[in-house]
Chains A and B, each alone.
Chain A
Amino acid sequence: NAGVTQTPKFQVLKTGQSMTLQCAQDMNHNSMYWYRQDPGMGLRLIYYSASEGTTDKGEVPNGYNVSRLNKREFSLRLESAAPSQTSVYFCASSEVGTGELFFGEGSRLTVL
């Protein structure tokens, strides 16, 4: 019962480095999300994918790119990391139009 799996769980980057966060779900969900969570600010949507082959910007997309590789996988890429991107990143999946999201365990990213 894996659910939503994110990797890596922890990462430290230097300013300007790039990296990709990987996410996979095994629940056959159409919708997948990438959120970031900062203290006191709740979850902010970075990108969203309603189905395989589609992606849409969320509230805070600048500095990120995504790829919906197939129905299972949705990756988030930081092309040139900045200290402002230090955060906890959560991937989630759901059926389309529902509020029942299943989250991965999170990826804690520090940009120095």
Chain B
Amino acid sequence: RKEVEQDPGPFNVPEGATVAFNCTYSNSASQSFFWYRQDCRKEPKLLMSVYSSGNEDGRFTAQLNRASQYISLLIRDSKLSDSATYLCVVIDYMDSNYQLIWGAGTKLIIKP
């Protein structure tokens, strides 16, 4: 079983709709969580951190569900420019080291 799993998609969504996708993680002790956005043939870029209390940035809302061990990303009023692959990252801290574990990404396509 992969440590961090994402539905690869693609999610095909009409412009203006709301879309949400999840990322599940296997280590209950994982402490930090992030969403990255990666445009086609480009580098990943940090979208937002995921706090225990949730995090909202404009049309984007990220939430953490520790009981069920997943994080979610919700995009409201989707734009054509939101088309991208969304990667989740989980950080596990072990002794004095930390490890970033990446999901394989969920592809989102916004259609006009």
A-side residues, CB < 8 A to B, are 40-45, 90, 97, 99-101, 103-106
Taking CB atoms, residues of chain B closer than 8 Å to A105 are 42-43
Taking the closest CB of chain A, its distance from the CB of B65, in whole angstroms, is 18
Please determine whether A40 and B104 come into contact, CB atoms closer than 8 angstroms. Answer: yes
Q: Which residues of A contact B110 (CB under 8 A)?
A: none
Could you tell me if A99 and B43 are in contact, using CB atoms closer than 8 angstroms? no
Interface SS of chain B: strand
Bin the interface of chain B by size: 20 to 34
B contact residues vs A (CB 8 Å cutoff): 8, 32-34, 41-46, 49, 87, 89, 91, 93, 98, 100, 102-105
- Would you call A40 and B8 a contact (CB within 8 A)? yes
The residue that B46 contacts in the complex, of A41, A43, A100, with Cβ under 8 A, is A100
Return A104 CB to nearest CB of chain B, in Å.
Answer: 6
Beyond A99-B49, A99-B89, is A42–B102 a contact (Cβ under 8 Å)? yes
Q: Which residue of B lies closest to A105 (CB)?
A: B43
- Give the distance in Å from the alpha carbon of A44 to the alpha carbon of B91 in the complex: 14
List the 6 closest pairs (A to B, CB-CB), nearest first: A42-B104, A103-B43, A99-B34, A43-B102, A42-B102, A99-B91
- Nearest Cβ distance between residue A88 and chain B, in whole angstroms? 8
B34, closest chain A residue (CB): A99
CB contact under 8 A between A97 and B103, given known A40-B8, A42-B87: no
